[in-house]
Chains A and B, each alone.
Chain A
Amino acid sequence: MGRGASSNGSAIGWRAATLAPAVAVYALLALLPIVNLLTMSVHDIRWDQGVAQWTFVGIKHFVALPADPLLRAGAANTLVFAVAAVALEMAIGLALAVLVSRAPFGRVAYRAIFILPILIPGIVIGAIWKLMYHPDFGVINQLAGLVGMTGHDWLGDSKLALASVIVVDVWHWTPFVFLLMLAAIESLPTDVDEAAQIDGAGAWQTFRYVTFPMLLPAFAVTLAFRLIVSFKVFDEVYLLTGGGPGTATEVVSFSIYRRFFTEDRMGYGSAISVVTLFVLALVIVLLLGAARRRDFQR
């Protein structure tokens, strides 16, 4: 960690100058909406005569949250969704990245193919997968029929709906993990790998004790961001199931959207957002803390 070897004055000057733009962007554009969100969460906002009426209500919204039946279902579904989807994406994305980095040929093609799903806008993915899942005309049931399996109502059966939505999410977002893990793998120094192999370590042992620990920072960052984005999942759920059947695919971001936007209850919707933020922040901080401790032990 180099403290500037050149004169202190210019070192401190550059230190601030390089960080300033990022801080400025946040200060100008991010602070205002956050403050606005927090303020709204303790108010009731109604419009009358074309003018907004803000009424301070303290923690009324927060108290009402646990009693909200949609939120209870939503919280459970979101947790299942986030954990299942993200776990699958991290595992598959990492595995694909490792495989592609060691593939004897076709690496350029594989890189392009495995990134494709993330290029497509969420609404198109939702709309097309909805057609693919159609019980009568969907290609999935048609293919199942060809190989002799029975088709199912993937989105209409409460037992299958959430899993079906998770499949779409995994397909959509694994490229994100793949891209970051591949970049991380490809910037690892190669000599360590070779040294381990010369020492007689097998492929799996090399990976587990040598490669993966070095990927841990990138892995942690990818995991954190994937987790955060999975809590915000919206487009696909909206187009695939609208939260149904019943409450089988109701997710928290959906509840936020419905409360905040469709029902125009900005105060209550903000409160849901704030609570979700806290929970998520806690989870992320714990995860990252664990990762950094492992990092220092190296």
Chain B
Amino acid sequence: MASRFRSTQASWRGALVGLGVSLALAASAPVAAQTGKLAPITIVINQSPWLAGFSRAVEAYEKETGNKVALDVNPFAGSAEKQRNSVRAKDGQFDILAMNSAWLAEFYHGGFLTPLGEIDPAYKVDPQVINYDDTAYWDPKTRTNNSKTGVPYGIPINGNIGVLYYRADLYEKAGLKVPQTWDDLAENAAKLHGPPNVYGIAQRAARSASDISYDWMPYLHSYNGGIFRDEKAGDFTVTINSPEARKALDVYVRMAKSSGPPNPGSYGQAQVITALVTGKAAHATPVIAAWPQMDDPTKSAVVGKVNVAPLPHGPGGKSTPTLGHFIGAIPKNIPKERQVAALAFLRWFSSLEGQTVYAKTGQPPIRRDVYDLPFMKTPEFRWAQAVAESSPNARMMYTVPEGPQIVAILELRLNQAVIGEKSTVDALNTMAAEIHDLMQKAGYKTGRLPDLK
């Protein structure tokens, strides 16, 4: 079956070539591919634009090392459930879990994963691998993602973040500059807003499993606001109805009303991307993983016209995209030999060699040094520098298992603010009350700010 990426050349010749290549690489790179026969492993992963790049890398690994890696490809909607079933069973089906940021917290808190140091005591995190808000680390005692007190549990395999897509051709015509603050963006969007042919900006203001909350988080964080006071330190005082948050939500809602389509409240990520590729939107902020659709003539009417910049920020804040990335982690409930083989693959994948293969397919690498390679500076990769610049500041939306419930609250109330069912102040106060209630019932150390007036 085509979805089983098994090299059929598991011969002595393959092993010898692998050995030779590895020795050569060992001289040039800090991380060498494992040689010899490691146990075959299965990776559970979802179908996505970056899967093609990932499979290419897997093939390269198999050819080089002779180790076998099979991919169990699932629809995104079912991937979490399958991973859940596997880790909760006595014996796991899968050896590497491609965990999306959405369910990272659940798996960490549930205690299903093996610290990488237990598999290989000599394991050290490669300094070139981007940190992604400490999500590869876990401290079981304080139950937080903390690189200082925790140890590595996984390795990033996809660095998906939100970025600003804008119509570079329209910018040139109107003489506009790339926006730095959200107010700059609002100004540019208003200038380019010309319904019904072009909307100034298409925001992901729909209510779903994760649309408007993901879209608005960068506003909140870049105004120096946050859902909680200090998650990493375990302080879950709810701060979502702070004055900063109010400014962040006001600018968001204003833009939707003045420069958006007639019903922004029904635009999910797919509709936003549709608006971009059909030329209907001058700006949008989907994730970088949507980039391949922009320059594909079978999918886009604006080939070559779109460019990417880091997300804007609030005054005095930094551009803070929200993470939508994937971490590759290894479950506890598989035999040691498969854990060893899994770690070997992850290390190869996150090495310079592995990431170069991956990045060449057009997906954002998870290593800093790859962004400096010459091919990443060509027009085809014009998105790369924005991503390199934004990645170090990217933040997680939540790090607790109650995350999806928090998101459900955010999605509903934020959407109500955009469609006019609630005022921004009312929406923020309601969210604060509901989230506080939730965290209290779940037993966290929490409190809240007084209602905004």
- In the complex, is A directly touching B at CB under 8 Å? yes
Q: Assuming A50-B110, A50-B332, what are 20 further A-B pairs, CB within 8 angstroms?
A: A47-B88, A47-B109, A48-B110, A50-B111, A52-B88, A70-B412, A134-B271, A134-B274, A153-B263, A156-B263, A242-B211, A245-B266, A245-B415, A245-B419, A258-B404, A261-B81, A263-B404, A263-B408, A264-B84, A264-B401
Q: What total of chain A residues lie within 8 Å of the partner, measured CB to CB?
A: 29
Q: Which of A183-238 contact B (CB under 8 A)?
A: none
Q: Are B404 and A244 in contact (CB under 8 A)?
A: no
Q: Which residues of A contact B211 (CB under 8 A)?
A: 242
Q: Are A49 and B408 in contact (CB under 8 A)?
A: no
Chain A residue at minimal CB-CB distance from B434: A69
When each residue 130-169 of chain B gets 1 if its CB lies under 8 Å from chain A and 0 otherwise, what string results? 0000000000000000000000000000000000000000
Q: Can you sample 20 A-B contacts with CB below 8 Å?
A: A47-B88, A48-B109, A50-B111, A50-B333, A134-B274, A135-B262, A136-B261, A137-B274, A153-B266, A156-B266, A242-B206, A242-B211, A244-B206, A245-B419, A258-B209, A258-B404, A261-B81, A262-B209, A263-B408, A265-B405
Distance in Å: Cβ of B177 to nearest Cβ of chain A: 29
When each residue 131-148 of chain A gets 1 if its CB lies under 8 Å from chain B and 0 otherwise, what string results? 000111100000000000
Cβ of A175 under 8 Å from chain B? no
Cβ of A101 under 8 Å from chain B? no
Q: Are B419 and A246 in contact (CB under 8 A)?
A: yes
Chain A residue at minimal CB-CB distance from B278: A137
Chain A residue at minimal CB-CB distance from B77: A238
Q: A48-B110, A243-B207, A246-B207 are in contact. Are A262 and B404 (CB under 8 A)?
A: yes
Q: Which residues of B contact A258 (CB under 8 A)?
A: 209, 404, 408
Cβ of B179 under 8 Å from chain A? no
Cβ of A77 under 8 Å from chain B? no
Bound Cα distance from A89 to B332, whole angstroms:
51
Q: A47-B88, A263-B405 are in contact. Are A156 and B111 (CB under 8 A)?
A: no
Q: Are A245 and B110 in contact (CB under 8 A)?
A: no
Q: Which residues of A contact B87 (CB under 8 A)?
A: 50
Q: Which of A153, A244, A246, A264 contacts B106 (CB 8 A)?
A: A264
Q: Are B404 and A245 in contact (CB under 8 A)?
A: no
Q: Which of B111, B274, B278 contacts A48 (CB 8 A)?
A: B111
Q: Are B416 and A246 in contact (CB under 8 A)?
A: yes
Chain B residue at minimal CB-CB distance from A69: B412
Distance in Å: Cβ of B431 to nearest Cβ of chain A: 13
Chain B residue at minimal CB-CB distance from A48: B111
Q: Which residues of A contact B261 (CB under 8 A)?
A: 135-136
When each residue 24-58 of chain A gets 1 if its CB lies under 8 Å from chain B and 0 otherwise, what string results? 00000000000000000000000111111000000
Q: Which residues of A contact B106 (CB under 8 A)?
A: 264
Bound Cα distance from A289 to B261, whole angstroms:
52
Cβ of A295 under 8 Å from chain B? no
Q: Are B207 and A242 in contact (CB under 8 A)?
A: yes
Cβ of B18 under 8 Å from chain A? no
Q: Are B207 and A47 in contact (CB under 8 A)?
A: no
Q: Which of A48, A52, A134, A245 contacts B265 (CB 8 A)?
A: A245
Q: Which residues of A contact B262 (CB under 8 A)?
A: 135, 153, 156
Cβ of B175 under 8 Å from chain A? no
Q: Which residues of B contact A264 (CB under 8 A)?
A: 84, 106, 401, 404
Most buried by B among A49, A136, A153: A136
Most buried by B among A70, A155, A156, A157: A156
Cβ of A276 under 8 Å from chain B? no
Bound Cα distance from A70 to B269, whole angstroms:
23
Bound Cα distance from A49 to B274, whole angstroms:
43
Chain B residue at minimal CB-CB distance from A156: B266
Q: Are B415 and A246 in contact (CB under 8 A)?
A: yes
Q: A50-B110, A242-B208 are in contact. Are A135 and B265 (CB under 8 A)?
A: no
Bound Cα distance from A242 to B265, whole angstroms:
12
Q: Which residues of A contact B110 (CB under 8 A)?
A: 47-48, 50
Bound Cα distance from A51 to B111, whole angstroms:
8
Distance in Å: Cβ of B143 to nearest Cβ of chain A: 10
Q: A48-B111, A262-B404 are in contact. Are A244 and B266 (CB under 8 A)?
A: yes
Q: Which residues of B contact A157 (CB under 8 A)?
A: 263
Cβ of B30 under 8 Å from chain A? no
Binding site for A on B (CB under 8 A): 81, 84, 87-88, 106, 109-112, 196, 206-209, 211, 261-263, 265-266, 268, 271, 274, 278, 280, 332-333, 401-402, 404-405, 408, 412, 415-416, 419, 421
Chain B residue at minimal CB-CB distance from A255: B408
Chain A residue at minimal CB-CB distance from B419: A245
Q: Are B263 and A242 in contact (CB under 8 A)?
A: no
Q: Which of A241-298 contact B (CB under 8 A)?
A: 241-247, 258, 261-265
Bound Cα distance from A47 to B89, whole angstroms:
12
Most buried by B among A134, A247, A263: A263
Q: Are A47 and B263 in contact (CB under 8 A)?
A: no
Chain B residue at minimal CB-CB distance from A244: B207
Bound Cα distance from A247 to B196, whole angstroms:
27
Q: Which residues of B contact A244 (CB under 8 A)?
A: 206-208, 265-266, 415
Bound Cα distance from A265 to B406, whole angstroms:
13
Q: Which residues of B contact A136 (CB under 8 A)?
A: 196, 261, 280
Q: A136-B280, A263-B405 are in contact. Are A245 and B209 (CB under 8 A)?
A: no
Most buried by A among B266, B271, B416: B266
Q: Which residues of B contact A158 (CB under 8 A)?
A: 419
Q: Which residues of A contact B84 (CB under 8 A)?
A: 264
Distance in Å: Cβ of A200 to nearest Cβ of chain B: 57
Distance in Å: Cβ of B282 to nearest Cβ of chain A: 15
Q: Which of A146-178 contact B (CB under 8 A)?
A: 153, 155-158
Chain A residue at minimal CB-CB distance from B402: A263
Distance in Å: Cβ of B86 to nearest Cβ of chain A: 12
Q: Which residues of A contact B415 (CB under 8 A)?
A: 244-246
Distance in Å: Cβ of B240 to nearest Cβ of chain A: 18
Q: A48-B111, A135-B262, A264-B404 are in contact. Are A245 and B207 (CB under 8 A)?
A: yes
Q: Which residues of A contact B274 (CB under 8 A)?
A: 134, 137
Bound Cα distance from A241 to B306, whole angstroms:
28
Distance in Å: Cβ of B139 to nearest Cβ of chain A: 14
Chain A residue at minimal CB-CB distance from B406: A263
Q: Which of B271, B332, B412 contacts A247 (CB 8 A)?
A: B412
Bound Cα distance from A103 to B174, whole angstroms:
64
Q: Are B112 and A47 in contact (CB under 8 A)?
A: yes
Q: Which of B111, B263, B265, B404 contacts A49 (CB 8 A)?
A: B111
Q: A47-B111, A158-B419 are in contact. Are A135 and B404 (CB under 8 A)?
A: no
